[in-house]
Structures are given as C-alpha cells and as structure tokens.
Amino acid sequence: MIIKKLQLLLLLMLLSLPSVFAQKMIGAETDAQKEKRMEWWKDSRFGMFIHWGLYSGAARHEWVKHNEKIDNAGYQKYFDQFNPDLFDPQKWAREAKSAGMKYAVLTTKHHEGFCLFDSKYTDYKAPNTHAKRDLVREYVNAFRGQGLKVGFYYSLLDWHHPDYTIDEIHPQSPKDKSDASYAALNKNRDMAKYRQYMRNQITELLTNYGKIDIIWLDFSFPRKDGHGKGKDEWGAVELLKLIRKLQPGIIVDNRLNLEEYKDGADFETPEQVSTAELAKYRGKTWETCQTFSGSWGYYRDEHTWKTHRQLLDLLITSVSNGGNLILNVGPTARGEFDYRATNALDSLSTWMHANSTAIYNCTYAPDTFKIPADTKLSYNKATGRLYVFLYKYPENGKLTLPGYNGKIKYAQFLNDHSEVLYKTDGDDLEVKLPAIKPGFEIPVVELTLN
C-alpha cells in the first residue's frame, strides 16, 4: 500500500515537471509587480511600429539583402545613397498621436545591420551617411515630446557584422547546406565577439536616451542541426538581465527564445495573423504586429494595402480579445511616411477621435454578455461600460441585444453621445437605431451597465 502511494506520488511529480520548469525565473519580480509595470502598455492598446533603414532605399522589402543574396559590397550602394532629406520625426509623432497610437517602436538596427543611432562600436551608422546625425535621438525626442511612450526594436540578427556566423537564413548561407560549407564560411567568425557587440550596443541604447519604455528584440530561430540561432547564441539570459538592470521598468517582447522561463518575456507577438486567430490569445498578454501592406520596410511596388475597414477590424478584434495592436509604417528613404500610410493614418485618426473610449483601457466582455449578431464587444471594467461595434449596420435600425434585459441602464452612440432608445422583449433588449448609419465605417454603441 505504502509502495503504491509512493509510486503514485512519483508519477504525480513527474507529470508536474514541465510546469515546474515553466516556473523557472531569471529575476525575482512578483506577479503583482509585473502587473503594475505592464499597466500603461495594456491600457494603451494601440502603437506604431516603424521599420526604417537602408532597405527603404532599395524599396523592395526589408529582407532584400537575404532575398537577393546580396553581400556587403553589393549592399554598400544603399549606404552611400542614404539621404533622408525630408526626415521630420515631429511629423511622424504627430501622425501617430493623432491616429490614437500611444507608443512607438523604431528599428534602431534591422537584420541588415545598419544602425540609425550613433554607436561607438560600428561605422555602419546614420552619422556616417548623408544624414550626418543620430536619427534615433531625434525620434526619441520627438515622440517623447508628444507624450508617446518610446520603444526600440533591435535585431538580434546581423547580416553585416563580420563576426556574426553564417546560418540558414544569412544572405551568404551555403547552397549545399553541408556542415563543411558552413564551417569553411565561419572559419574566421566569432559569435562571442558578436554577442559582446550586441551587449555594447544595447547598453548604449538603454543608457544614452533616457527612459526607454519597450525593447523589441527580433528574433530567434533555433535549429537542431546547429545552423539556426537561439538563446545560447544570443546569450539571452545574460542579455535580459542586462536589459532589466539598465531599464528596470522596460517591457520586453518574447523573441529571445526564453520560453522555459516564466519571466523570459513580457508579451507574445503574433505576427501578421488573421483576426480569426486572435481569439486564441485571450487571457494571455499579447500584441499583434501588422503591416499596412505586405512588407515592413518601404516597398514601392507592393500594392496589397489593407483597407480602412480591415485596419479597424484588426484594432477592434485585438481589444475585444484583450490584446494590443502595433501597426507598422515603413517610411521612404527620404524619411517620410508614404501617402498611402498617411491616408490610412488619417482615416484611423477620424475614427479614433470619436471612438477611442471603446479602445483604451478596454478588454473582452464578461462571458455573461452574448455577442449580438454582426458585432464585436469590448468592455471597460473600471467604468462599467460595454461597447458594441456595429460591423454590419442593422437594416431597419433594429439591433437585438440577446439576454441583456436588466443588465443595462443607458445606451448611446459613442461618437456623439446621442441617446439610443430601447425596449424589452422577454430576456432581450430591442435597440432602435436611426435608419441612417452614422458617418463611421464601424460605429460604436456604448452601454452603461447596471
């Protein structure tokens, strides 16, 4: 009997091993402390990603160096040409703010290795181009000046650095993919030196620009055959410790490959997923990153731009599933937002001006509220308001709120605070909306709950 009990205990311990590992910690922050640190970010819901670098000049995807297998010599022309004569970060910040975005994340260095900031550790940087200055500093000052939170994207990959070892996705990866070819190519490369380079640069970024609110490290691709990169290649645990030491309040994405640690990341980053997939992330802490068109860097000939409705759907669906949306702009090589991006931001700005109360500080509705047909819901716990996003405007203005009888005390359009009347119908409420839809792609009805 005792033996049986011991066996059972052993079995239970074995079964719980994975969750024991998931609790592994790098630091000592409590759940409550983390909650507090993440508060502004969760309440913000909407941010701007900015992908800007030498690839903006090639204007055919930020992975152009990889896609076309260009080496450093072949890529040099983009460095020589780089001349952002129209760069006006104040204008960027104004556009972001007016679109309702609360934070921004700029590529200080993307996979191509070019640095927009003045780093002591490389010559491959904006101050050595026609720009002749630290562009990151100007971004920081402008965005912070407009009251936006400031984030840095920093690429873990570096297709320019001489010590960054050639892996499966490096532009110079060997055609035959054999270990011998990799070994020959990497004979004089030393990842330990590259690791130190990253630490040095991240130290610069997190020391020389005041308080930095977010760091977005990108990305890990561990491979069994050794030709990928993950936590060991990055020295990720030590890197994260360094980041937290330099900027204790900072928020860090989840691409360091530290999944085995409970505090190895602050948020998940579903990239370019469909709105249907976002429901899976309910209950987690997450931010979906999305482009206006297919590419992150400016891509002149890419014409599949998302419509205003698609962008709104991304924002609303994110909030109605308890997550954030970071929407990307790829400025041109001259340093401007392309007119298509500006148009998209302008439309968002009109909508957000009238409806942002249904976005900020909001999350998914309690389960007790059924989602009315052709709508999505968001909910502000602090104010006790429920928001109904009218995806399809009801034809005769008749909106049924199923099972809502007794649950609400007032209903109005959010855009102009005009009352909408309703009557009870059994358990349901029948809302009588005007026959003509208000002038918003997706209008919002605000319900004050009992």
Q: In this structure, are residues 58 and 78 in contact, taking their beta carbons and an 8 Å threshold?
A: yes
- What is the closest distance, in whole angstroms, from the C-beta atom of residue 224 to ligand GLC in the complex? 21
Kindly tell me which of 67 and 383 has the beta carbon lying closer to ligand GLC: 67
- What is the closest distance, in whole angstroms, from the C-beta atom of residue 297 to ligand GLC in the complex? 7
Kindly tell me which of 299 and 379 has the beta carbon lying closer to ligand GLC: 299
Kindly tell me which of 45 and 65 has the beta carbon lying closer to ligand GLC: 65
Q: At residue 144, what is the residue type? A: R
Q: How many helices (H) and strands (E) does the chain have?
A: 15, 14
What residues make contact with ligand GLC under the rule CB under 6 A?
A: 51, 62-63, 218-219, 271, 289, 296
Distance CA 447, CA 450 (A): 9
Residue 288: strand pairing partners? 325
- What is the closest distance, in whole angstroms, from the C-beta atom of residue 61 to ligand GLC in the complex? 8
Distance CA 130, CA 82 (A): 6
Kindly tell me which of 296 and 422 has the beta carbon lying closer to ligand GLC: 296
Distance CA 442, CA 312 (A): 8
Kindly tell me which of 267 and 351 has the beta carbon lying closer to ligand GLC: 267
Kindly tell me which of 95 and 218 has the beta carbon lying closer to ligand GLC: 218
Contacts with 432 (C-beta within 8 Å, 6 or more apart), sequence order: 397, 398, 420, 421, 422, 423
Q: In this structure, are residues 381 and 375 in contact, taking their beta carbons and an 8 Å threshold?
A: no
Kindly tell me which of 44 and 107 has the beta carbon lying closer to ligand GLC: 107
Kindly tell me which of 62 and 204 has the beta carbon lying closer to ligand GLC: 62
Burial 389-405 (b: 16+ CB within 10 A, else e): bbbebbeeeebbbeebb
Q: Is 409 helix (H, G, I), strand (E, B) or coil?
A: strand
- What is the closest distance, in whole angstroms, from the C-beta atom of residue 286 to ligand GLC in the complex? 13
DSSP codes, 14-59: HHTHHHHHHTB-SS---HHHHHHHHHHHHHH-EEEEE--STHHHHT
- What is the closest distance, in whole angstroms, from the C-beta atom of residue 255 to ligand GLC in the complex? 7
DSSP 228: S
- What is the closest distance, in whole angstroms, from the C-beta atom of residue 269 to ligand GLC in the complex? 6
- What is the closest distance, in whole angstroms, from the C-beta atom of residue 354 to ligand GLC in the complex? 30
Contacts with 363 (C-beta within 8 Å, 6 or more apart), sequence order: 319, 322, 378, 379, 381
Distance CA 242, CA 256 (A): 13
- What is the closest distance, in whole angstroms, from the C-beta atom of residue 289 to ligand GLC in the complex? 4
